[in-house]
Structure 1
Amino acid sequence: MPVTTTDDTTTAAAPADQGTPTVRNLLDPGFELTLRPMRYPDFYERYRDAIKNTWTVEEVDLHSDVADLARLTPAERHLIGRLVAFFATGDSIVANNLVLTLYKHINSPEARLYLSRQLFEEAVHVQFYLTLLDTYLPDPADRNAAFAAVENIPSIREKAQFCFRWMDSVENLDQLRDRADRRRFLLNLICFAACIEGLFFYGAFAYVYWFRSRGLLHGLATGTNWVFRDETMHMSFAFEVVDTVRKEEPDLFDDDLGAQVTAMLREAVAAELQFARDLCGDGLPGMNTDSMRAYLECVADQRLVRLGLEPVFHSENPFPFMELQGVQELTNFFERRVSAYQTAVEGTVSLDDDF
């Protein structure tokens, strides 16, 4: 059994004749099953916090969006069509990586509790995006094309190929046996957290809140508020896993790994900028490729700083509606849920990674 971190129900020490427990690191091969004594209580608390934030797709009212869609210009309809096509596949990539890689290699029952909860949340997101497609694209042929976006929309295909380049190298590993395996896993996890959930989805959220800032698609924005909070928590958990591994095995984090992560973020910005060119075309009022470039570079620098690396872009956020998103909408989210749910939400909200 591993050594314990003291908590409120710490078990008695093992008898001396049982020997000294083996100290395991988070990425050591194996499948720890025992939650007491608890080694990683912070992961368990994250699981408990996630349970408090349960929401369902049936609570999102998209009826007003149908009228709004009829008011959009052809360029705006193109943007929203591409956006929901990305949503249709993005969370499926995340869910597959959770099951095939993260759950297998993060050797902590507390962390696996959280990952199990995260998988449920990703399923809710997929259902939400399915509902969006059914509502926004009434033509079955259009819906089928959106679900096949990875194959037939170049800008979405490029984002998917980026994910596979950085994440697939550990899918077939049964165990992380050596330093090289663990570094490959870390690159997978950082791509998952910083690039997919922390950049691709944050870019998508900006388009949603741009529509909302103009009084459009409030149903989409409501559901996105809750997805936004889930994704922020997913990213925060993944970064805490990285922090834990860094404390336990600091030799894994050298200049070479830092250079790889920086190159990864640069590639992610380039892929997402290609998507922005597709969505924005020649530009829309308050939304164009140049403003999205600045926004994406600003977010990418935030992710690099969170990982202990130097920022590389030094751009400022051009979207004031994203600056307000974390405080205003998440506050409203909690106010609604205290009266609408059987389990009231308690505690505080951390907004460190917002926009």
Structure 2
Amino acid sequence: MSAIFDDWDTPAPPRTPAAPAQDRTPASSAAGTAAAPDRPAPAALAPVRAADKRIVNGKADINQLAPFRYPWAWEFFLNANKNHWTPLEISMAQDVHDYHHKLNAAERHVFENVLAYLTTSDILAMRNIGLAVMEKMSAPELQIYQARQVYEEALHTWTYQHCIESLGLDQQEIYNRYRVVPEIHGKIALANRRLERVMRSDFDLANRDNLHEFALSYLFFAGIFEGCWFYNGFTPIFALQRRGLMKGTAEQLQYIMRDEVLHCAFGIRVVRQLLQEENLALDPVRLRELWDEAEAAEAAYAGFVLREPILGYSAALHMDQFRFIANRRARQLGVDEPFPGARNVLPWLDEQANLRKEKNFFETRVTEYQTGGALSWD
């Protein structure tokens, strides 16, 4: 890819002058010219068998979709396409008034820094799927859903940008917080570290150590980055929404959350299938390290974003809920709960994912998704 852009401004070589029209008669029809010898037809190939497909290191033709080995992956793709939306469909007019006239200083601090974290996180998630995961999948039904996932991460980034523009926030200042605020940068840096090595195209998954690292990285992004950090990360904005504030932004985040629910569910399904196919057991020490690093980064972030509690929400509640959600993801992954005894201190959070609400057809679009609400998280 880089070679294409490197040559973008390179002048094209001079063209060889075209032969006169009378000299361009096909050789096969010219008098006294022998026809080119026929090339042998390529040998026929064996048909693709679903049993030859694998999550990684598969032997089947990567370009042939069916027969499916993983029909559930195709269902994820079909369901995701039922959930199409854009940020322009939701009015931000009331949010502009709320932000400038109703939010207090602590609430604006929370709102701005949640948005600052999210703007970069979805781009990072897009790079993870598009550059580190998708090209290593060896079954096209997996890649097709992940292509949709890459699009959705870009859509989410557009949504945050739409919110920033609508509210008239300083874009340079908001976007740079992930670099200059240590507590935000810490989460991004941890995710980048988990991404960098497995993103290499020469990362050989036939090597068992590399395969284990890839599985841990995928588990981190599916189960923690999207399944915990994103799922829990929208909650401060939802806490404002429950008080009638910033409802347009919160509704945008509800759409994003529904996409992330599917991303997380798909990723967890892939990780479990990968471990089973490859007869791979995760190192419990490295898995514990992963949970501990994620908890420490989240605690620092919550302490900064919620340095002053807002009505109905605090850093302590945020961390209690993070640990509860982390246990849920661990159960879904089939591994030990990292935080035994963690309680569901925000039972209303799951309601935000379900988007089950009445809507006036003439005032706004219907927000009921057709498929995501059926997902079971317990």
Flag whether TM exceeds 0.5 (same fold): yes
Partner Cα separation in structure 2 for residue 46 and residue 351 of structure 1: 11
Partner Cα separation in structure 2 for residue 321 and residue 20 of structure 1: 47
What residue is the counterpart of 2:65 in the other structure? 35
1:353 aligns with 2:353: no
Structure 1 counterpart of 2:124, which letter?
I
What residue is the counterpart of 1:186 in the other structure? 215
- Structure 1 residue 353: Cα displacement: 2.9
Kept in 1: contact 2:261–2:372 (CA 8 A): no
What residue is the counterpart of 2:14 in the other structure? none
- Which structure would you say has the larger Rg? 2
Task: Quickly say closer, same or farther: Cα 1:158–1:33, change in 2 above 3 A.
Answer: same
Q: Which runs of 5+ in 2 are unaligned?
A: 1-44
Residue 357 of structure 2 is aligned with which of 301, 315, 332?
A: 332
Residue 336 of structure 2 is aligned with which of 303, 310, 323?
A: 310
Q: Which runs of 5+ in 1 are unaligned?
A: 1-16
Task: Quickly say closer, same or farther: Cα 1:193–1:336, change in 2 above 3 A.
Answer: farther
- Structure 1 residue 345: Cα displacement: 6.3
What residue is the counterpart of 2:114 in the other structure? 83
1:151 aligns with 2:171: no
Partner Cα separation in structure 2 for residue 236 and residue 100 of structure 1: 20
Partner Cα separation in structure 1 for residue 191 and residue 234 of structure 2: 19
- Structure (1/2) with the larger helix percentage: 1
- Structure 1 residue 333: Cα displacement: 8.2
1:165 aligns with 2:225: no
Residue 151 of structure 2 is aligned with which of 120, 132, 135?
A: 120
Structure 1 counterpart of 2:163, which letter?
L
Structure 2 counterpart of 1:332, which letter?
K
Q: Number of matched residues?
A: 327
Kept in 1: contact 2:54–2:139 (CA 8 A): no
SS of the equivalent of 1:97 reads helix
CA deviations on 1:151-177 (whole Å, 9 max, x unpaired) are: 111111000111022221211143422
Partner Cα separation in structure 2 for residue 117 and residue 298 of structure 1: 29
TM-score (norm 1): 0.85
CA deviations on 1:177-198 (whole Å, 9 max, x unpaired) are: 2111111111111111111111
- Structure 1 residue 231: Cα displacement: 0.2
What residue is the counterpart of 2:256 in the other structure? 227
Kept in 2: contact 1:43–1:110 (CA 8 A): yes
RMSD of aligned Cα (Å): 2.5
What residue is the counterpart of 1:276 in the other structure? 302
Identity of aligned residues (%): 26
- Structure 1 residue 349: Cα displacement: 2.8
Kept in 2: contact 1:189–1:238 (CA 8 A): yes
Partner Cα separation in structure 1 for residue 375 and residue 70 of structure 2: 23
What residue is the counterpart of 2:7 in the other structure? none
Partner Cα separation in structure 1 for residue 47 and residue 321 of structure 2: 55
Kept in 2: contact 1:170–1:188 (CA 8 A): yes
- Structure 1 residue 125: Cα displacement: 0.4
Partner Cα separation in structure 1 for residue 230 and residue 152 of structure 2: 15
Task: Quickly say closer, same or farther: Cα 1:135–1:23, change in 2 above 3 A.
Answer: same
Query: Equivalences for 1:180-219 in 2 at 5 Å?
Result: 180-219=209-248
Residue 86 of structure 2 is aligned with which of 56, 71, 74?
A: 56
TM-score (norm 2): 0.80
